[in-house]
Amino acid sequence: MIYLDAAATAPVREDVLQTIAPLLTRDFGNPSSSHGAGETAARALDYARRTAAGVLGCRPGEIVFTSGGTEADNLAVKGWALAAPRGRHLVSSAVEHPAVLESLDFLRRVHGFRVTLVPVDAEGRADPEAFRAAVTAETTLCTLMYANNEVGTVQPVAEVGEHCRALGVPFHTDAVQAAGWLPLDVGALGVDAMSISGHKLGAPKGSGLLYVRGSLPLEPLLHGGGQERGRRSGTENVAGAVALAVALARGEAERSEAAERIGRYRDHLVRRVLAEVPEAVLTGHPEQRLPGHASFCFPGTSGESVLLELERAGVQCSSGSACAAGRDEPSPVLTAMGYGPDVAGTAVRFSFPRSVTEAEAALAASVVGPAVARVRGLAPRA
């Protein structure tokens, strides 16, 4: 079976497993304890913080370890807004991850914030000038994802960050999909906060982090023992933090090579699918997209039926966000891009893990056309 659903979760890296094995067995102490086992755990946690900070170009004290990208997004959006509500106005895009959109809606419903969602074009990209026009001196915070999880479009984060800096408005980016594929230097991007999830990078599920610029106030979502400098209480997941940091550092070291190699595999799949399925529509920006991401709509089919045929042919992929699996309504991302419900319901997403081989990628590309044809009843099942 060929796994092409890395946007949902990536396989855990072998070098990460080897690194954290002692932290799960021998060095299992609580980093808040003052005895030897606790001090060993605290040193490991400090190593993770310094390693992650080195990749992001920030201070170690600006890293908050979380349980994943969803918690990091919630902490950034709710934590900032509740700590410094200012004009109670929030600005984001129409294609954000539900972790951001639902946090914004919570603040609207429960705390009376106004929310402006900037539209995107047919390729899923937000106009930086539209963000500049939406962000005012009354804006509490602005948040724009770095790269979309469903269609792979990369957003103009640095340009929006420049506008936010000029107005003195805090700016957050959800970099969950971008980590390991795109540059993450927070200074160059002009962001005040950044969310990252470990299991997209090759760390186990349940690990994440939020970079938050040190001078910004942050109301914690979790209250208790005051861990993470009072910003996220609860005994730290030391093994998860180390796994995330190691995967992040290794991913950054391999980023250029991996992007070039996996980008070739993706481009071959795109060319073949568009040649063999004339009705296929490549969704997302044709160039400003993640190197390992190819997403299509196949009008006249059912996306779920195409997925079943692909799995029978030995390829596992998805119809879009794993967070929306099992829902009947069409993708809000695709509808925001202008696709009607009938077409949006035919979406199929291929997202390549770094571990995929050229032979596997070529085989996957060869089965898409026949799978779509079988769904349409145009070819017999082999």
Give the span between the Cα atoms of 273 and 229, in whole angstroms: 50
354 three-state secondary structure: coil
Of 142, 164, 317, 323, which one is the catalytic site residue?
323
On the 0-12 / 13-18 / 19+ scale of CB atoms within 10 A, 329 is exposed
Query: Which residues are CB-contacts of 125 (< 8 A; sequence separation ≥ 6)?
Result: 153, 154, 155, 156, 285, 288
In Å, how far are 207, 348, 367 from 302, measured between CA atoms?
A: 34, 9, 17
- For residue 146, give both structure tokens: 């770095």
DSSP label of 91: E
- If we measure between CA atoms, which residue out of 172, 87, 102 comes closest to residue 136? 87
DSSP label of 204: P
The tokens 């939406």 sit on which residue?
134
Give the span between the Cα atoms of 171 and 68, in whole angstroms: 20
Q: Is 323 a catalytic residue?
A: yes
Give the span between the Cα atoms of 218 and 210, in whole angstroms: 11
On the 0-12 / 13-18 / 19+ scale of CB atoms within 10 A, 34 is exposed
Give the span between the Cα atoms of 335 and 64, in whole angstroms: 34
- For residue 255, give both structure tokens: 């980023």
Query: Which residues are CB-contacts of 94 (< 8 A; sequence separation ≥ 6)?
Result: 117, 118, 119, 120, 332, 336
370 three-state secondary structure: helix
- If we measure between CA atoms, which residue out of 318, 304, 306 comes closest to residue 373? 306
Per DSSP bridges, beta strands 2-3 and 89-93 are unpaired
Phi-psi region of 143 (alpha: psi -120 to 50; beta: other; left: phi over 0): beta
Positions marked active-site: 323
